[in-house]
């Protein structure tokens, strides 16, 4: 298939109409950090490209009384420069700050990171930990699904992600993120962990969500670790036991994989860093 036309769309309605008309023959492009490489290497051969980079409603960061809402065209740089994502949302700020190079962060979008479907996408574990909901539009209407379910049932060819929203955090909640990157070992998959932890008045964990990247086929909740941490105090013993719970879960999930021995060791340092950072971040947030 040969690329025949590029549409510079100005509205979601226009994009929805084009996707309804061309379906799998069309591809969306915004930042282009992934799709340009795929086009160059002929991994994809669309007939139509739909440029959504100029659609203003996709480029907004909004908040209402209870939620923060990201347009799918918001870039990583725009997230890291917005004061909303400091304080107890530090984990999302940190994840976006660790995406690629400054040039990629300037161009790459949060919606593209989701739509690309990579198990190692940096921004996804923090958003899953936040319980993020994504809004998807097509000629068939609008639907909303939890982000953690997206990787099981991905976008249809006639759909576009338009928004990502999550509930605002309260003063007792903190979001953190830790990652083992690719800078020195390009052959090794990235591993990352995000945690959203809420303490009660006694300093014990009342609510917790742990999510991981590149520890399975797709980003996911680590529910066994969550269950272990409930009603625990975060200390050295708790951290080491939580690591053991995660490693046991990985043993079952990645049984027979050549990467398992490496990941068992690597994940111990990442989860330890994440939980220790929670203690540090909580102290800093209180100071703010």
Q: Give the structural domain span for 12.
A: 5-51
Q: What is the CATH number of the domain that holds 237?
A: 3.30.390.50
Q: What's the structural domain count of the chain?
A: 3
Q: How far, in Å, CA of 126 to CA of 166, rounded? A: 11
Q: How far, in Å, CA of 260 to CA of 267, rounded? A: 10
User: Are 216 and 259 found together in one domain?
Assistant: yes
Q: What's the chain's length in residues?
A: 288
User: Are 147 and 181 found together in one domain?
Assistant: no
Last residue within a domain, chosen from 167, 202, 234: 167
User: Are 62 and 137 found together in one domain?
Assistant: yes
Last residue within a domain, chosen from 118, 136, 167: 167
Last residue within a domain, chosen from 167, 200, 219: 167
Helices (H), the chain: 12-22, 35-40, 76-80, 90-97, 102-107, 110-115, 124-129, 147-150, 223-229, 236-253, 260-287
| Adjacency order of strands within the sheet including 5-8 | 5-8, 48-51, 26-29
User: Are 194 and 261 found together in one domain?
Assistant: yes
Tell me, what's the pLDDT at 281? 67
Q: What is the CATH number of the domain that holds 11?
A: 3.30.43.10
DSSP state of 11: S
Tell me, what's the pLDDT at 184? 43
Q: Is 115 helix (H, G, I), strand (E, B) or coil?
A: helix
User: Are 72 and 157 found together in one domain?
Assistant: yes
Q: Evaluate whether 61 touches 71 at the Cβ level (below 8 Å).
A: yes
Q: How many helices (H) and strands (E) does the chain have?
A: 11, 12
Q: Evaluate whether 88 touches 174 at the Cβ level (below 8 Å).
A: yes
Residues 6+ apart with CB under 8 A from 79: 61, 70, 85, 92, 93, 96, 110
Residues linked to residue 142 through DSSP beta bridges, in sequence order: 137
User: Are 185 and 162 found together in one domain?
Assistant: no
Tell me, what's the pLDDT at 188? 39
User: Are 68 and 35 found together in one domain?
Assistant: no
Tell me, what's the pLDDT at 44? 87
Q: How far, in Å, CA of 247 to CA of 188, rounded? A: 18
Tell me, what's the pLDDT at 43? 87
User: Are 181 and 141 found together in one domain?
Assistant: no
Burial code (b: 16+ CB inside 10 Å, e: under 16) for 245-269 equals bbbebbeeebeeeeeeeebbebbbe
Reading phi first (left if > 0) and then psi (alpha if -120 to 50, else beta), residue 71 is in beta
Tell me, what's the pLDDT at 183? 52
Q: Phi/psi at 55 (nearest 5 deg)?
A: -85, 110
User: Are 66 and 145 found together in one domain?
Assistant: yes
Report the run of H or E that residue 179 belongs to, with start and end: strand 173-180
User: Are 47 and 115 found together in one domain?
Assistant: no
User: Are 28 and 62 found together in one domain?
Assistant: no
Q: How far, in Å, CA of 288 to CA of 173, rounded? A: 14
Q: What is the CATH number of the domain that holds 127?
A: 3.30.465.10
User: Are 68 and 32 found together in one domain?
Assistant: no
Q: Is 83 helix (H, G, I), strand (E, B) or coil?
A: helix
Q: How far, in Å, CA of 105 to CA of 270, rounded? A: 23
Strands 5-8 and 48-51: parallel
State whether the Cα torsion 240-245-246-252 is positive or negative: positive
Tell me, what's the pLDDT at 190? 76
Tell me, what's the pLDDT at 282? 67
**Tens-of-pLDDT digits for all 288 residues of the chain?**
567 799 999 999 999 999 999 999 999 999 888 888 888 888 888 999 999 999 999 999 999 999 999 999 999 999 999 999 989 999 999 999 998 889 999 999 999 999 988 888 999 999 999 999 999 999 999 999 999 999 888 899 999 999 999 999 999 999 999 998 655 433 334 799 999 999 999 999 999 999 999 998 899 999 999 999 999 999 999 999 999 999 999 999 999 999 899 999 999 999 999 999 988 766 655 544
């Amino acid at each position: 298939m040969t690329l025949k036309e590029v549409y510079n769309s100005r509205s979601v309605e226009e994009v929805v109409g084009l996707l309804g008309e061309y379906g799998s023959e069309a591809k969306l492009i915004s930042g282009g950090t992934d799709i340009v490489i795929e086009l160059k290497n002929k991994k994809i051969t669309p007939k139509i490209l739909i440029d959504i980079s100029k659609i203003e409603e996709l480029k907004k960061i909004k908040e209402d009384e209870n939620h923060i809402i990201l347009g799918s065209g918001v870039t990583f740089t725009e997230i890291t420069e917005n004061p909303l994502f400091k304080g107890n949302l530090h984990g999302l700020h940190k994840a976006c700050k660790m995406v690629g190079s400054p040039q990629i962060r300037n161009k790459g979008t949060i919606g593209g990171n989701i739509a690309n479907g990579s198990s190692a996408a940096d921004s996804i574990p923090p958003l899953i930990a936040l319980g993020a909901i994504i809004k998807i539009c097509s000629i068939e209407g609008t639907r909303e699904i939890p982000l953690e379910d997206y990787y099981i049932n991905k976008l249809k060819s006639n759909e576009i992600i338009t928004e990502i929203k999550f509930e605002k955090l309260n003063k007792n909640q903190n979001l953190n993120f830790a990652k083992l990157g690719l800078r020195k070992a390009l052959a090794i998959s990235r591993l990352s962990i995000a945690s959203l932890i809420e303490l009660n008045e006694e300093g014990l964990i009342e609510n917790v969500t742990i999510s991981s990247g590149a520890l399975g086929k797709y980003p996911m909740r680590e529910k066994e670790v969550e269950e272990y941490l409930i009603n625990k105090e975060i200390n050295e013993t708790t951290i080491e036991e939580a690591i053991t719970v995660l490693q046991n879960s990985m043993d079952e999930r990645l049984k027979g994989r050549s990467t398992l021995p490496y990941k068992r060791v690597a994940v111990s340092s990442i989860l330890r860093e994440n939980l220790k950072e929670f203690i540090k971040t909580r102290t800093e947030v209180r100071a703010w």
